[in-house]
Chain A
Amino acid sequence: MVETEAASIHLVHPDTYGYCLPHIEMLVKAGFPSPADDYLEGKLELTKHLVDHPSATYYIRVSGDSMIDYGIFDHDLLVVDRSLEPRQGDIVIASVDGELTCKALAIKNNVPYLKSGNPSYPPIEIKNKETMIWGVVIHAIHSFRNRNR
């Protein structure tokens, strides 16, 4: 058996660290039950709030300006849910001839096509192309500091 120097080592559980915010913060005086105890509701978890289907959700980082009119900017982080049925108007990740891209799903005269969020990029006709909707973009996370987050 190997002896170790440290007196005790504890696990820091990742779920309780990093992306949680305390919901109620209160100083509790020793000896008195906190009046807020009845209202304790746990923590707000951003991942849970943003992600409905964890095993179908993927993250993608984008670069470029073709979607700025939809509020997707260079270096934004996209949260993509594959389990959703794509609807008209959705921002989607689509695979066009084997190339993945981010566009809006639009329909004109009953024919679906892919639309950019920037007038300088022409819309993409889906017909005659090997096209598949890869997933539906449910959030674009735009950071102002730490742009690599």
Chain B
Amino acid sequence: MMIGLIDCNNFYVSCERVFNPKLENRPVGILSNNDGCIIARSNELKPFVPMGMPAFKISPDLQKKITLLSSNYELYGDMSQRVFKTIQNYFHHVEPYSIDEAFIHLNEDQKTVGYCRNVQKIIKRNTGIPVSIGLSSTRTLAKIANHIAKKNKKHENTFCLDIHGPDFQHILENLPISEIWGIGRRLNAKLITMGIENAWQLKNCNPKFIEQHFSIVLERTILELRGISCIKLTDFYTSKKNIVASRSFGQSTNNLFNIEEAIRFHTFRATEKLRKQQSIAHAILVFLRTNRFHDRALQHNPSLAISMSYPTDDSREIIKTAQKGLHNIFRAEYHYHKAGIMLLDIIHKNQRQLDFFTYTQNNQLIKRNDNLMQVIDRINQKMGSYTIFIGGQTKKAKWHLRREQLSQRYTTRWEEILKLRI
């Protein structure tokens, strides 16, 4: 079997470039929510700005030479769907893995680099998004192949990593383990202290030893490096297990009314995401932060997790629980800088276990509430976010999303489609 990984190149920047070709070959950066820091960079920007750099730290001189844009998730989400739909026309089994990556399974006649290069051209022409394709016998190796396809220009963004090929050892020896799928910072550090620094060394480790000292997932990674396909997508990634929504207030505050409002807003956003991935949450964590750069005596960073009486995706129920939590941890003598929530222990809706005693009377009610939530989501989708909201909301509240450099939502709003002067 042959597995491929299709990855969009500099996805967010590429989306912006489709509708604004002037940005082509220029340094472009995308800012996080609230225009806080750099979360995506074009290749041209990479030498100047590290990933995650706060926008305010970029010197005014440099700012003049580069283009910084607010993240336009409406656009990126739609473009991502377009890319995946196009891929589906050419490969039977496509597993989207993130907003800009998908694994593909290839059958006999699709196995060639030539076929993939052709698909690559079609994706670029149809959607405007450039992609890289890595091919190999397992997902872990396909990821590595993709990495090589992008790094080395001569491969023209498509590379097939053959485990029987003459340069297989050489390639793995030159690949630091931090580049391997599923090896995070902590695991990386631990392996390096054991003298395992490159992919070839890891491949030659005893899988049983690794399983005992690390995890079964890392054991599988070793097998995958040897060409035995055994990692399922679900091993690393199902739907998000936690959903976080938080933001700094523009100014520190000890006004409970304002904080309540912020918590309501964040919780509502989080529950929207929760429903989008068809999940329900068992519990919610509410947290407040004072400004850590201020006087140490005035620090208060409380958090509290409260479990819901039953797992749910009902915004009203979860907001109620969140407010309860907030009232518990809030102290008026402190000025808070940031408030947020995290939805915990998220499971798929189908796994919902109903309370034995309340099942029959609640079943009807759950269905009705489900419908209500769906209607709210549809309306907000159609008429714009927060058309319908739970509880009051001050317009232009301080903690609202700041998106000052937002491009238009070219593909999801009629009012914002591309306009050309001809």
The closest CB in chain A to the CB of B377 belongs to A11
Give chain B residues whose Cβ lies under 8 Å from the Cβ of A100: 21, 418, 420
A-contacting residues, B83-114, CB 8 Å: 83, 85-86
Kindly state whether residue A10 has any CB partner on chain B within 8 Å. Answer: yes
Interface string of A56-79 (1 = CB under 8 A from B): 101111111011000010000000
Give chain A residues whose Cβ lies under 8 Å from the Cβ of B122: 83
The closest CB in chain B to the CB of A8 belongs to B368
B-contacting residues, A110-149, CB 8 Å: 132, 134, 149
Determine the interface band of chain B, counting residues with CB < 8 A from chain A: 35 or more
Given the known inter-chain contacts A56-B86, A62-B422, A101-B420, please indicate yes or no for A2 contacting B127, CB distance below 8 A. no
Whether A98 pairs with B24 at a CB distance below 8 angstroms is yes
Task: State the CA gap A53–B89 with chains docked (Å).
Answer: 11
Whether A9 pairs with B417 at a CB distance below 8 angstroms is no
Give chain B residues whose Cβ lies under 8 Å from the Cβ of A59: 414, 417-418
Whether A61 pairs with B126 at a CB distance below 8 angstroms is no
Task: State the CA gap A54–B422 with chains docked (Å).
Answer: 25
Kindly state whether residue B125 has any CB partner on chain A within 8 Å. Answer: yes
Give chain B residues whose Cβ lies under 8 Å from the Cβ of A58: 410-411, 417-418
Give chain B residues whose Cβ lies under 8 Å from the Cβ of A10: 371
A64 CB, min distance to chain B CBs, angstroms:
4
The residues of B with any CB-CB pair to A shorter than 8 Å are 21-22, 24, 81-83, 85-86, 122, 125-128, 314, 316-317, 320, 362, 365-366, 368-369, 371-372, 374-375, 378, 382, 410-411, 414, 417-422
**A to B CB contacts below 8 Å, 25 in the list:** A1-B362, A2-B320, A9-B375, A11-B371, A11-B378, A12-B378, A55-B81, A55-B127, A56-B82, A56-B126, A59-B417, A60-B420, A61-B417, A61-B418, A61-B419, A62-B419, A64-B421, A67-B422, A82-B128, A83-B126, A98-B21, A98-B22, A100-B420, A101-B420, A132-B21
Nearest first, the 3 closest Cβ-Cβ pairs linking A and B are: A56-B126, A98-B22, A55-B85
